[in-house]
């Protein structure tokens, strides 16, 4: 199952040229670029591990691309994303993030819906398998 998190997640994987162009766009806007990685792409896992330090003072897309390549070599079986942080007053947040590496086999999840008292419905996400499971029917 293809994980769809971040900007451009529904598009085909970006090429290195496209990644470099997006990084240059971030730098041109004065945003600090960082590289993060994880082996747990669960949608609620928003805090990925930082690869190195945030690159607040780097203004060269080539240098950041080199760090991305280092991250890919260090963690080839992990998800790796680029984030850009805008420190402008009233923004002070990540303004863009996008995947630059995926494992060769991606995890899958399935959503479980449970009916509870008072017509409430509870949803949970569990690790799934790559095969389709059909719900059992009460007899």
Which residue carries 């059992």 as its tokens?
Answer: 136
Give CA–CA dist 100/69, Å, rounded: 10
CATH 3.40.30.10 for the 1-129 domain, yes or no: no
User: Pick the residue with more confidence: 139 or 45?
Assistant: 45
Could you tell me the maximum CA-CA distance found in the chain, to the nearest angstrom? Answer: 65
Confidence of residue 1 (pLDDT cuts 50, 70, 90): low
Boundaries of every domain in the chain: 1-129
> Is residue 114 scored above 90 in pLDDT?
no
Residue 132 has pLDDT above 70, yes or no: no
Q: Which tokens go with 15?
A: 């090429």
**pLDDT tens across 14-53, in order?**
999 999 999 999 999 999 999 999 988 777 788 899 999 8
Closest CA to 44 of 106, 124, 116, 104: 124
């Amino acid at each position: 199952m293809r994980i769809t998190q971040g900007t451009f997640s529904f598009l085909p994987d970006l090429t290195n040229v496209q990644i470099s162009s997006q990084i240059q766009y971030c730098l041109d806007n004065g945003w600090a670029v960082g590289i993060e990685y994880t082996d747990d792409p669960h949608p609620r896992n928003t805090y990925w591990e930082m690869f190195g330090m945030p690159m607040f003072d780097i203004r060269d897309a080539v240098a950041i691309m080199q760090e991305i390549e280092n991250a890919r070599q260090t963690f080839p079986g992990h998800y790796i994303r680029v984030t850009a942080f805008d420190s402008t007053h009233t923004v002070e947040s990540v303004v863009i993030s996008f995947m630059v590496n995926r494992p060769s086999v991606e995890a899958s999840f399935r959503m479980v819906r449970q009916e509870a008292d008072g017509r409430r419905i509870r949803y949970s996400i569990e690790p799934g398998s790559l095969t389709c499971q059909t719900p059992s029917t009460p007899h």
